[in-house]
Amino acid sequence: MTAKLTFVLGGADSGKSAFAEKLALGADPVVYIATAPVTDEEMVKKIRAHQERRPASWETIEVLDLSLKRAILDLNAPLALLDSLTMYVARIMDTPDPQAHMRDVLDAMTISASEFIVVSDEVGLGVVPATESGRAFRRLLGMINQEVATAADEVYLVAAGLPLTLKSGAADKGAT
């Protein structure tokens, strides 16, 4: 079983989702909270690959609106895997206070009886986006990632399919 909150970061196609799924193996039941909308054929293929990789016994909940907090509070499973925080943050960009919205989501995780594995993109290592909206998204996701990492019991960075432990155990809580 994982820690109460495990955070898995990585770049696009880094292997972060597969690593998070391996962390969840052995828990039963697992609820997979999917946040990626189907936008084109490439996303259809990516979502299908994720689905085929997961055990058939895992329940999937799709959160394609702003209701992540409600989905978390309604959980009845020992473990939930949220993939991905990145897609959810993109959805809340235009809310009045996206950071407060995410703090409410994080608070819901801390009061939930479920343990969580949260997957997000590490956006601070790449090219600076060319557009103002791209830079605003990168800045917001970077700040939210920092808040989740601070609250997490364990934090991993996945690169080329290999996990690097950034934080382990409650003894490191608060250190990022």
> d(Cα 36, Cα 46) in Å, to the nearest integer?
10
Counting residues of the chain whose pLDDT is more than 70, the rounded percentage is 94
Q: Strand, helix or coil at 60?
A: strand
**Domain ranges, residue 102:** 5-172
Residue 10: CB atoms within 10 A of its CB come to 26
Per residue in 134-164, pLDDT tens? 999 999 999 999 999 999 999 999 999 999 9
Q: Residue holding tokens 């925080």?
A: 85
Per residue in 13-50, pLDDT tens? 999 999 999 999 988 899 999 998 888 898 888 888 88
Report the number of distinct structural domains present in the chain: 1
Write down the pTM of the prediction: 0.92
> d(Cα 72, Cα 81) in Å, to the nearest integer?
11
Give the active site residues. 50
Quote the tokens at residue 15: 């292997």
Tell me the chain's radius of gyration from C-alpha atoms.
Answer: 15
Domain CATH code at residue 124: 3.40.50.300
